[in-house]
Chains A and B, each alone.
Chain A
Amino acid sequence: MTPSMLEFDRLTKRYGERTALRELSFSVAAGELFGFVGSNGAGKTTTMRIALGVLASDSGEVRWKGGAVDLAVRARIGYMPEERGLYPKMKVGEQLVYLAQIHGMGGRAAQSAMEAWTERLGVAERRGDEVQKLSLGNQQRVQLAAALVHDPEVLILDEPFSGLDPVAVEVMSGVLREKAAEGCPVVFSSHQLDLVERLCDRVGIIRGGEMVACDTVEALRSQGNRRVLVVAPRAGATWAEGVPGVTTLEADGGRFLVELDDSADDQALLHAALATGPVHEFATQQQTLTDLFRNVVTQEVAA
């Protein structure tokens, strides 16, 4: 194991009768962008809060570079809580300087970091305004600045993209990539799966407090069954049933979506299709994270 690694080791958390986290483990290497997805109430926020010491876990621990995350390490984490929080009546600039200082920055360094980040995130001209006077989108930018202003070594962001306009999403994505390139492990949760797919090196899917899938996007995609879209206008509804390992998912006129398990041979499928007449289209479909996610969540019902 590389030493520069953020490890979540068998975290368990119960709220009364309900188990929010069950032996949840994963790790994020330095320089890695990790996307954390799951339905509401799956345990993402709980996991992040435990890492920041806002919540205590019942068992398990979070480690950074091999050592338990304590107050000294937390001062080096940039955190964006799910429920946004800033002093509503404090000025943007002063607030960011204060937050940098309580994370251990000197007054002058805090001031210049505040100036740099408000500039970068496009809220420089609002430094003198009270936070409550800003639009929600701008408050969100300030919130991100608050997570970055003390030059953190680790970033943990809960739903950083929610409520952002497309321009701000681009700015946020750029900043996250940049921090990862600097060598920070970056963990963030999001419901915008296309974004996670585009941005992340690795993705963790959590369900009912357990990690059900955790790998690179590529690996996750190859994990599932292949799907093929076949357009054969003269084919009957049951043309593919004779091919071993193939299931028809959708049939709409001449358009068919079929799923192939590991034993299935796509060439045999193509022959079967051609046997019905002309084939206009025969395309392997890339599974999106959304499909994967849907699969994982529907398994929940079965389980």
Chain B
Amino acid sequence: MSAPTQQRQVGAAQGTWLVARREITTRVRSKAFIFGTLAIILAIGGYIALISFLGNGESTSRVGVTSDTAVIGEQLTVAGDALGQTIEVEDVTDAAAAEQRVRDGDLDVLLTGSPSEPVAVVDEELDTQLNGVLTAVVQQQALNERISEAGLDPVAVQQEVAGTTVEVRALGQVDEDLGQRLMLAVASAFLLYMAVILYGSMVTMGVIEEKASRVVELLLSTLRPWQLMLGKVLGIGTVGLIQVAAIGIVGVVAGVALDAFTLPGAAALTILSTVMWYLLGFLSFAALFATAGSLVSRQEDASSVTTPITLLAVLPFVIGFPRLMNDANDTVSAVLSYVPLFSPTLMSTRTALGVAEPWEIALAVALSIAATGVFVWVGGRLYSNAVLRTGSRVKLRDALRG
């Protein structure tokens, strides 16, 4: 009667791609996404601009000296240079007018009094660093006077003192990049945490939306549950990545343009490993969030299943980080760094600290990928079993058994 059934079913990869594409297109075009991203970018740009503005303002200090304190002024410039502070010294003749300039903020400090007992006139309070430089200069002044009194030449003594140094014999090599690598690792761990909280709950909401709106019944009649799960995780992951990348690029460009920081060129490998751990971490967490979503059927119940996962995301910061900062070779942290969900944070930090062997990294990566696969599979199973049990929360055991 009718033509034989055509084999028109979607392939496994194609089905997953269709699901992911739907997540991406519907979310990226939403007003919430566009305005949210713009708001964050503006906030970050503004923050960086503010920091660099404040930083520039404080880098030079203007000090006014009277004819009495001009001696200190000379030493002040030298001492400031030595301590990495630019100090502009200006001779003033009219002390009263100079005080007015201090009030106006034109001068930071006005030095009056005598070289042995100088008085620093400031608007509100003396800058800590400037205070340090001033004190050092005044103390040196006092010391010089005593040296002169003892019949020695202050300049010769100073040169002799300056010439005495400790010879350093290093047994190991200095790791100059350690600081930068560690900063990157910590920053990425924090970024991952933020992404997990933000986009992870988006995955849970998406899963619940399908169950609550019952569209899942249509979807499951043609897609396998794991395709739905994986597609959702990849789609929302991509949306997250787009947002994080947009924010990151704007942040870096703004930062470099405003001279807030420089890009560490040597840390390319660290950046690459950071990105890899970010992706692995996000995927494993998102799969877990999807599984959580399949256990409840109402948005109101979402937090009861997502909170435990959020706690898992915090755990490395509470347990691992303090121990690692204390002792890079800490055993507890080392063991935890193999465990999926913890490894993205802890293994990347241990790699940055230079204490992770290549095989350890490989093992952690393999375990993390395996765990993501298991989460997706279990989540899909729970999802299809829990679909028709709307209402109360589905017990994990019931859902698994089906």
Contact = CB atoms under 8 A, between A and B. Distances in A.
Interface of A: 2, 4, 30-31, 49, 52-56, 64-65, 71-77, 79, 81, 83-90, 94, 98-99, 101-105, 146, 153, 182-184
The 10 closest A-B pairs by CB, nearest first: A85-B214, A104-B8, A85-B215, A183-B2, A81-B217, A52-B221, A72-B9, A75-B9, A83-B214, A4-B1
Contact of B2 (A4, A101, A104): A4
Contacts of B15: 102
Main secondary structure of the interface of B (DSSP, over half): loop
A33 to B, nearest CB: 15
Main secondary structure of the interface of A (DSSP, over half): loop
Nearest to A99: B218
Interface residues of B, number: 32
B222 interface: yes
A77 B10 contact: no
B92 interface: no
Contacts of A54: 217, 220-221, 387-388
A145 to B, nearest CB: 12
A30 B2 contact: yes
B215 A86 contact: yes
A101 B10 contact: yes
A53 B224 CA distance: 10
A299 B209 CA distance: 43
Interface string B3-40: 01111111000010011001001100000000000000
B213 interface: yes
Given A54-B221, A77-B221, A71 B9 contact: yes
Contacts of A84: 214
Interface centre among B15, B19, B22, B221 (most CB of A within 10 A): B221
B223 to A, nearest CB: 6
B293 to A, nearest CB: 15
A146 B2 CA distance: 22
Given A56-B402, A104-B10, A153-B5, A98 B217 contact: no
Nearest to B209: A87
A52 B19 CA distance: 20
Contacts of B19: 102
Nearest to A71: B9
Contacts of B214: 81, 83-85
A64 B1 CA distance: 13
Given A52-B220, A54-B221, 4 more contacts: A49-B217, A85-B213, A101-B18, A102-B222
Interface centre among B22, B218, B219 (most CB of A within 10 A): B218
A31 B1 CA distance: 9
A79 B218 contact: yes
A157 B215 CA distance: 15
29 contacts: A4-B1, A49-B388, A52-B220, A53-B221, A65-B4, A65-B5, A72-B9, A74-B222, A75-B8, A76-B6, A79-B217, A79-B218, A79-B221, A81-B214, A81-B218, A83-B214, A84-B214, A85-B214, A85-B215, A85-B217, A87-B213, A87-B215, A94-B25, A99-B218, A102-B15, A103-B8, A183-B1, A183-B2, A184-B2
